[in-house]
Amino acid sequence: MATFTDTLNEQVRHEFAASQQYVAIAAYYDAQSLRQLAAHFYRQAVEERNHAMMMVQYVLDADQEVVIPGIDAPQVDFADVVAPVSLALAQEKRVTEQIVELVKLAREEGELVGEQFLHWFLQEQREELASMTELLSVVERGRDNLLQVEEHVARMAGGENPLEAGAPPAAGGAL
């Protein structure tokens, strides 16, 4: 049976895969000169990479074996400008379920330190689901007026993540 540490190592792979997917989305927007959407996803890619490295640090601190994973290729072709955001929202929903399952596993195994570590990620997922849901409605509404979408995304970037301060340490330092 998979242990908490095995499953956390598996989650490192999901976070790196999310990071790579966001780089692909950012490049897709960048190629269309949608600079604000591109910047938003480049930033999200770095955040996902940081999540992976926070989990790596946790496994190191717990004196367990770290397994740095290979990852599958991300999706790089999209039907229209809305599709990448739909994909991103689906990805965030999936990650939220994965984190919830990890919390349940931590509880089952009496890994209370691990459970406490994951609380920050639960909060982070709540915030990312909310902001990605907002972005999807903005892009859907503005698909025929992308300059308006760009302005909205530029404004969203202003109130950056209040959770950063309480974030767990990342291996090698957060970027």
| Closer residue to Fe ion (CB): 147 or 157 | 157
Stretch that binds Fe ion, among 12-20, 31-39, 63-71, 148-156 (CB under 5 A): 12-20
| Cβ within 8 Å of residue 159, ≥6 positions away | none
Is 48 or 111 the residue whose CB approaches Fe ion more closely?
Answer: 48
| Residue among 29, 51, 149, 168 that touches Fe ion (CB under 5 A) | 51
The span from the CA of 113 to the CA of 5, in Å, is: 12
Q: Which of residues 91-130 bind Fe ion (CB under 5 A)?
A: 128
Please tell me the distance from the alpha carbon of residue 68 to that of residue 80, in angstroms, as a whole number.
34
Q: How far is the CB of 48 from Fe ion (least distance, A)?
A: 5
Nearest residue to Fe ion on Cβ basis: 51
Nearest approach, Cβ of residue 167 and Fe ion (Å): 11
Closer residue to Fe ion (CB): 66 or 146: 66
Greatest extent of the chain over all pairs of C-alpha atoms, in Å: 53
Angle at 30 between CA 24 and CA 34, to 5 degrees: 125
Both structure tokens of 70: 């290979």
**Distance from the Cα of residue 139 to its chain's centroid:** 19
- Provide the binding-site residues for Fe ion, judged by CB under 5 A: 15, 48, 51, 128
